[in-house]
Structure 1
């Protein structure tokens, strides 16, 4: 969307829409709750400050995804992790960077396995899921749709 100044054409430059985003670094496992709180506060600001619709499903799913991804980063990578939340095309992109170059093992669903279901859950509730190796570490991005769609599933994918 292009936003223009009222005086455009009189030497004024058009306004450029900036993405709505927030980033935070986390260093300890006790900060996983703080990461969830940051996600909740970000989503609340989308509603109250920016007037964007955020369903209760999205509120819970984003906090769940943040919790799982930050937990994995803190558990399997040395040093801090960086959480970024950004609104794009009616969804929140949850991105977590950590310093480990080891890509996550995404295990096949197994109802008798105890634990290690985090990424399986994240992939089930997100519209998209990506893993990218970086020059230092890796970046994991998951996208959660903000508004409920009566024609879609819980992850925001269209049902056929």
Structure 2
């Protein structure tokens, strides 16, 4: 797996764009996608000096796992995972070939399964879905740092 990583040329270390992208084709790649996310965030801390909270570390891995799982389950062919850091957030973007946008179901503790999108939307700062000329792209943003205010929102993963 070849993972390109790039940096912008301006600003402080925390302001520079850092990104990685990789294509996946099989269900065994879901665990690999989580490992990529963990490695990406570890490098972000150790190589680039950008602080990453434990919540962000877990939250990004969870979002990556859920979005790649959905792409593998509902879309034919490969999916593309992109992780980008910009202005204190990690944008997790997953493209797949299925043009239909997913529909998040309402909370139902009695429902078995199909909670992935619901979980992703609950733990992210922002969540977007876009149709592409081919397929769709799901983008979820996870804050790198915990909420400094310490209010109720800080109990969430991001």
Q: TM-score, normalised by structure 2?
A: 0.86
Whether the aligned pair in 2 keeps the contact of 1:61 and 1:125 (CA below 8 Å) is yes
Alignment of 1:22 onto 2:20? yes
What are the Cα deviations for residues 79-107 of structure 1, in whole angstroms up to 9, with x where unaligned? 00000000011010000000000110211
1:41 pairs with one of 39, 46, 54: 39
Name the structure 1 match of 2:65: 67
Name the structure 2 match of 1:50: 48
Name the structure 1 match of 2:119: 121
- Unaligned runs of at least 5 residues, structure 1: 5-16
Q: Which runs of 4+ in 1 moved over 2 A?
A: 1-4
1:109 pairs with one of 107, 110, 115: 107
Name the structure 2 match of 1:11: none
Q: Please, what is the CA RMSD of the aligned residues?
A: 1.8
Question: Is the partner of 1:111 in helix, strand or coil?
Answer: coil
Which has the greater radius of gyration? 1
CA distance in 2, matches of 1:59, 1:144: 9
- Unaligned runs of at least 5 residues, structure 2: 1-7
Name the structure 2 match of 1:86: 84
1:23–1:110 distance in 2 versus 1, CA, 3 Å = same
What are the Cα deviations for residues 93-128 of structure 1, in whole angstroms up to 9, with x where unaligned? 000000000110211111111100000000000000
CA distance in 1, matches of 2:119, 2:100: 20
Q: CA deviation at 1:149?
A: 1.5
CA distance in 1, matches of 2:139, 2:69: 14
Q: CA deviation at 1:147?
A: 0.7
Name the structure 2 match of 1:131: 129
